[in-house]
Structure 1
């Protein structure tokens, strides 16, 4: 069994290859995967959760991501979220790989947004606004730039130092990025708005979006969280990664439904329907589109399969250059 570190995951899973792997996975996903399960495992009055995300491709591969959320870790100087991905052979059930879960999640989440962008953003999109400065914010602009001709990245975050650090990192990757203080103005300048936060109050206001904008919402992964207001959702054509996941966890969708402003049928399509061509994506250059993802286990399996197979062009170099520990 191979063990893959975070650095190996990032080096091997280049975005063009990963986007195409996810496209194939969603296109051929004939079997619905279980919605993420959460178990309360706290002690001494402190909350904590164990999450499980299984997926399989019969006869080929199966895997499960194990995630723990311990909010009290901050006082210990530790991150609140930890995760591992375990992949098994689909014919024998024998373990094949143990993979750093956070790196795998960040790469596949950003790639899923880029995949949706190929159907929903305008092909001539050149300006991206990144809202949020966390770990995922380091990956989303790079992923979008792999499928659209991004020339400028605007970065907005509540913490100025973290925004500056993100700008510096994006510049190192060859993306022309700068921090912005006025979110309202930035929303009106962006062709693509990518948001990755744990906000419970809307940051993306519908009245500030210009026609033709694509909104990419990847944070806010519980019904109580949201990154967009009702007007943004109602002005836009709404799409999701999976209908089951969005209708179970996505506050950006569930809160307007609960308020009687939106019906579940208003969701235009999910990634399976987009990749198969069963339902259309963007219809014209003035349409506002909105993609809401909460994460799907099929994305983890597709990314893990690509990693283990060494199918990506960078993966072959990485495999030869860096020997992996064995489990």
Structure 2
């Protein structure tokens, strides 16, 4: 048997093959599959290239994120990370990523493709999908920290499932907020308010943090009952008092959230552990748990990001590319 060729797809080709609505649906389907154990998602492996480590001094990190997607019968891995430092100085986007897909029966490489666009899309879709199981209304008010690419895709994804009645955005760079407001004016059905102070954005049914901040800037006293908070960044973003007093903590992958993101520091200090986690998004999506927010509750939701979502979206892209004869075939062997 001749070794099959591998399909190569660049970012522009991927953009032509998938919509945010489709990504939200794929993420939701994969969450359900995770909830019933049909999708396999090992915890990501971190290579710290100076993000927090003293050596090497490159202000970045890379994650290896493998997964098998049961409902698509597909497997693959995303190699992805974020870099500040010299990369930022040269004007390149923070996220850099590639995705490899394999035939899970024979191990042949089906595709190699850009992963940055899929990363941005599925991260937004994870928030939207989780919200579907956490709030009871169609119209919501949103507070957003971070007006960059992730801020855009979070807003776009949430708009697939909800009408955003009001969006308050705060970014340390006001020009970024102004650009965001202009870019999103046709996506957000309600009004967009640029917050002058960080506390001014902490209003609404949902608060989403997509920043590169290492400061615990979101304060407990700002967060009112009836609010769901999504700290999506690699660091904590919200203060210890809120995390420790949240009525529920809902996550995408228990193994990952204990070692990265908002919970990491408190876990290391032994102030939090797995027993403090209410459930996973997959359990809610599969109908195994019901955790819709009550008026007197504050919920912390942490979709740190799983390889399963990337591989699932990449598989859909690959299937469409094959159907439409898009991409370049390459024989590695």
Per the shorter chain, which TM-score range? Answer: 0.7 to 0.9
User: Residues 2-56 of structure 1, C-alpha deviation per residue, up to 9 Å, x if partnerless?
Assistant: 33332343443333332232222222232642221123568x9643644311112
2:218 is equivalent to residue 204 of structure 1: yes
Task: Quote the RMSD (CA, aligned, Å).
Answer: 2.8
- How far apart are residue 283 of structure 1 and its match? 4.7
Following the alignment from structure 2 to structure 1, what is the Cα–Cα distance between the partners of residues 278 and 197?
31
**Structure 1 pair 230–141 and aligned structure 2 pair: CA distance change class (3 A):** same
What secondary structure is seen at the aligned counterpart in 2 of 1:18?
helix
Q: Tell me, in whole angstroms, the C-alpha distance in 2 between the residues paired with 1:40 and 1:288.
A: 33
Q: Does 1:38 align with 2:46?
A: yes
Partner of 1:296: 306
Match of 2:255 in 1: 244
**1:56 match: secondary structure:** strand
* 8 A contact 1:60–1:91 mirrored in 2: no
The counterpart of 1:55, out of the listed 63, 67, 82, is 67
Q: 1:49 & 1:12 partners in 2: Cα distance?
A: 29
* Residue of structure 1 in register with 2:227 after alignment: 213
User: Following the alignment from structure 1 to structure 2, what is the Cα–Cα distance between the partners of residues 86 and 112?
Assistant: 21
TM-score scaled by length of structure 1: 0.85
Judging changes above 3 Å, is the alpha-carbon distance between structure 1 residues 323 and 278 closer, same or farther for their aligned structure 2 residues? closer
Determine the C-alpha separation between the residues in 1 that align with 2:131 and 2:56: 43
Per-residue deviation, 1:112: 0.8
The CA deviation at 1:275 is: 1.6
TM-score (norm 2): 0.83
- Asked whether the equivalents of residues 121 and 192 of structure 1 are also in contact (C-alpha less than 8 Å), the reply is no
Would you say 1:190 and 2:204 are equivalent positions? yes
User: Is 2:196 the counterpart of 1:181?
Assistant: yes
Q: State whether residues 18 and 306 of structure 1, in contact with CA within 8 Å, keep that contact through their aligned partners in structure 2.
A: no
> Aligned match of 1:90 in 104, 116, 137?
104
Structure in which a larger fraction of residues adopt helix: 1
Structure 1: which 5+ runs fail to align? none
Alignment partner of 2:161: what SS?
A: coil
**1:272 aligned partner:** 282
SS, match of residue 144 in structure 2: strand
Q: How does 1:106-125 map to 2 (within 5 A)?
A: 106-125=120-139
